[in-house]
Amino acid sequence: GSCRHRCCPGRNNACWVPGARRAHCYCDAYCQRTGDCCQDYRSVCRRAAVGCAVGPWGPWSGCSSPCGVGSRARSRQVTVPPRHGGEPCPDLKQRRGCLGEHPTCGAAK
């Protein structure tokens, strides 16, 4: 079979048509996962690039120093990893300065 005629997006179990002598194979986007790609799938079917997608930022952590200069951090998760040359993921962690002001900081011991 050959993908020259058609490459099916998504999952499509009907990606074939009967031919005069044998069925023509039309590959779907999941053929590599299921192991049923046409021999020329990689060279003929273009794979769409998928850019990275990330979720929302989580909350800022508490200040790392209870007294004086410290830092806060927050993070987010990758929801869709990049594939086939898609846009890479942006930063997943952020850090910023803070000043710890715990009530016990000014108490003399």
pLDDT per residue as tens digits for the range 54-89: 999 999 999 999 998 999 999 999 999 987 666 889
pLDDT at 60: 96
Residue 46 has pLDDT above 70, yes or no: no
**Mean of pLDDT values over 99-107:** 79
70: which residues sit within 8 A by CB, 6+ positions away? 63, 64, 97, 98, 99, 100
For the entire predicted model, the pTM comes to 0.52
Say how far apart CA 1 and CA 21 lie, in whole Å.
Answer: 11
Please give the share of the chain, as a percent, with pLDDT higher than 90: 32
